[in-house]
Amino acid sequence: MAKSNTFSCSACGASFSKWSGRCEGCGEWNTIVEDKGLSSAGPSKKSLGIRRGKTIPLSDLSTEETPPPRATCGVAELDRVLGGGLVAASAILVGGDPGIGKSTLLLQAAARFAQAGVKTIYVSGEEASAQVRMRAQRLGLAQAPVKLAAETNLRDILTTLEAERPQLAIIDSIQTMWADHVDSAPGSVSQVRAAAHELTTFAKAQGISIIMVGHVTKDGQIAGPRVVEHMVDTVLYFEGERGHQFRILRAVKNRFGPADEIGVFEMTGCGLAEVTNPSALFLSDRGEPSAGSVVFAGIEGTRPVLVEMQALVAPSPHSQPRRAVVGWDSSRLAMILAVLEARCGIPFAGLDVYLNVAGGMKITEPAADLAVAAALLSAREDVALPADTAVFGEISLSGALRPAPQTENRLKEAQKLGFTSAIAPSGGKSISIKGLGLRRASDLAGFVGEFFGA
């Protein structure tokens, strides 16, 4: 095959038929690099190079091109996390601990997309096609029109994708892929980077959406999904506690939708089932009010979610009392304890403090501060807040309470789930919701005085 234009300048983009030390186009030194084709076949090289460097005026973009077309799979929890569906020619990374359920999730997603008319290929580098088929049978998806491939060589995969021209390709996992022009073992940083880069470039050039799976690794030998986060359009993490049956798909970066959006799934014997009302799940079994338990009205992405904060405060037998946190930030807990002590005169010295977000949920919102403070006080004083009360608000170091964003949505969700009262910071616009008694506090000391009589 005649080789032409296989070298290009990384500074100005000029193409050359042979390598030289200095670019004739822009005069830069050492910028000529060999253009490695995605595969040995010709067309991709042409389509990759043909538009290089061409610009178009922003105003000339026709309106049909924006917003980008999206394909939905019908699993609302997944479509929402993707920002309202799968954007054509996008690269998506799904990270998560080994065994958390990524392959299950993506095989189900592949089947649903395929059933919705999106031509889908599922490439497994970890399991043989027969094993993937067995999994599909277990999930009741054996008849879905998905094509399977068991392959780890990137060049072979790209050639297959070029020939098949699917709209969606799922690569499970990026750590098992290897590009033959990189001299290191599969899973190494350079292999993972090279594979992700080629797949992403390929996605853009060919208009194929690619979902890559990345295992979170504790071992330094194998590159984790973080290495490729910056290359892709969307980064989703699949998380959950092993002992709990539900899993959360969280968007941490999304060029085509809101970040911090979550989708909630429940693990069942026949795969993941979507949970459309997560608040009900996280609040299950609430009956009698109990000391140390407070319901936080939170927002995850665009959706209000109610979760239970549980605290236990007990005299410590140790000289260094314990502070243990599950599902929340431990330095934030230290801050709340310090504010309670400094601004309200309530010491926690000599007391062990345990804080747990029920159901294996992880909360990152500062608006959870007030619910945490309430749970800690309730546990310490052994006084329960009424069970039908939802709490939220951010606490500042001065002890003042700051209004939280989306107050109305939080209150509406609480009301929808049968809560009859809520405690929120004062300030912001006045809101009244039928059937929900709203009480406002402007600082932590006032809140403590009103609800715990201290």
Binding site for ligand TYD (CB under 6 A): 96, 98-104, 267-268, 271-272
Find the part of the chain contacting Mg ion (CB under 5 A) among 100-108, 186-194, 195-203, 321-329: 100-108
Q: Measured from the CB of residue 92, what is the shortest distance to Mg ion in angstroms?
A: 16
Nearer to Mg ion, 125 or 301 (CB): 125
Indicate the residue among 103 and 188 with the shorter CB distance to Mg ion: 103
> CB-wise, 103 or 356, nearer to ligand TYD?
103
The encoded tokens of residue 429 equal 């616009």
Q: How far is the CB of 262 from ligand TYD (least distance, A)?
A: 16
For 390, half-sphere exposure in the C-beta direction (CA atoms, 13 angstrom radius) is: 28
Closest distance to ligand TYD from the beta carbon of 240 (Å): 9
Q: Is 97 annotated as a binding residue?
A: yes
Report the half-sphere exposure of 157 (CA within 13 A, side-chain side): 31
Helix (H), strand (E) at residue 191: helix 189-206
- What one-letter code names the amino acid at 131? Q
Q: What is the largest CA-CA distance in the chain?
A: 86
Nearer to ligand TYD, 93 or 372 (CB): 93
8 binds Mg ion (CB under 5 A): no
Do the beta carbons of residue 125 and residue 151 sit within 8 Å?
Answer: yes
Q: Cβ of residue 102: shortest distance to Mg ion, in angstroms? A: 5
Instruction: Please name the residues in contact with 126: beta carbons below 8 A apart, sequence gap of 6 or more.
Output: 103, 172, 173, 176
Report whether 399 contacts 405 (CB < 8 A): no
Relative orientation angle of helices 444-452 and 330-344, to the nearest 10 degrees: 80
End-to-end Cα, the chain, rounded Å: 85
The Cα 314–Cα 109 span in angstroms is 46
The residue sitting closest to ligand TYD, measured at its beta carbon, is 101
Among 39, 103, 188, 389, binds Mg ion (CB under 5 A): 103
Alpha-carbon 309 to chain mean position: 22
User: Which one of Mg ion, ligand TYD, none is in contact with 98 (Cβ closer than 5 to 8 A by kind)?
Assistant: ligand TYD
Strand partners, 314: 352
Nearest 5 degrees, angle CA 346-CA 350-CA 351? 75
- Closest distance to Mg ion from the beta carbon of 250 (Å): 18
Return the number of the residue (15 or 129) whose C-beta is nearest ligand TYD. 129
**Choice between 83 and 214, CB closer to ligand TYD:** 214
225 binds, among Mg ion, ligand TYD, none (CB under 5 to 8 A by kind): none
Would you say how long the chain is, in residues? 454
User: Least distance from C-beta 4 to ligand TYD, angstroms?
Assistant: 43
Residue 95 binding: pick among ligand TYD, Mg ion, none (C-beta 5-8 Å cut-off by kind)? none
443 assigned binding-site residue: no
Nearest distance from C-beta of residue 402 to Mg ion, angstroms: 42
State how beta strands 389-391 and 421-425 pair.
parallel
Binding segment (CB under 5 A) for Mg ion, from list 47-55, 97-105, 199-207, 298-306: 97-105
Q: How far is the CB of 80 from Mg ion (least distance, A)?
A: 23
> Binding residues for Mg ion, how many (CB under 5 A)?
1
Q: How far is the CB of 269 from ligand TYD (least distance, A)?
A: 6
* Token representation of residue 73: 């799979």
Answer yes or no: is 100 a known binding residue.
yes
Choosing among Mg ion, ligand TYD, none, which partner's interface includes residue 272 (Cβ < 5 to 8 Å by kind)?
ligand TYD
Burial 156-172 (b: 16+ CB within 10 A, else e): ebbbbbbeeebbbbbbb
Annotated binding residue at 102? yes
Question: Which listed option, ligand TYD, Mg ion, none, makes contact with residue 188 (CB within 5 to 8 Å by class)?
Answer: none
Asked if residue 84 belongs to a known ligand binding site, the reply is no
Residue 57, contacted partner among Mg ion, ligand TYD, none, CB below 5-8 A by kind: none
Q: Is 263 annotated as a binding residue?
A: no
**Residue 39 binds which entry of Mg ion, ligand TYD, none, with Cβ cut-offs from 5 to 8 Å by kind?**
none
Query: Of the ranges 96-104, 128-136, 192-200, 372-380, which one interacts with Mg ion (CB under 5 A)?
Result: 96-104
Contacts with 317 (C-beta within 8 Å, 6 or more apart), sequence order: none
Sheet holding 234-239, edge to edge: 147-150, 120-124, 168-172, 209-215, 91-96, 234-239, 246-254, 262-268, 271-274
From residue 46, alpha-carbon distances to 4, 39, 167, 210 in Å are 11, 12, 20, 21
Binding residues for ATP: 96-103
Query: Contact positions toward Mg ion, by CB under 5 A?
Result: 103
Binding residues: 96-103
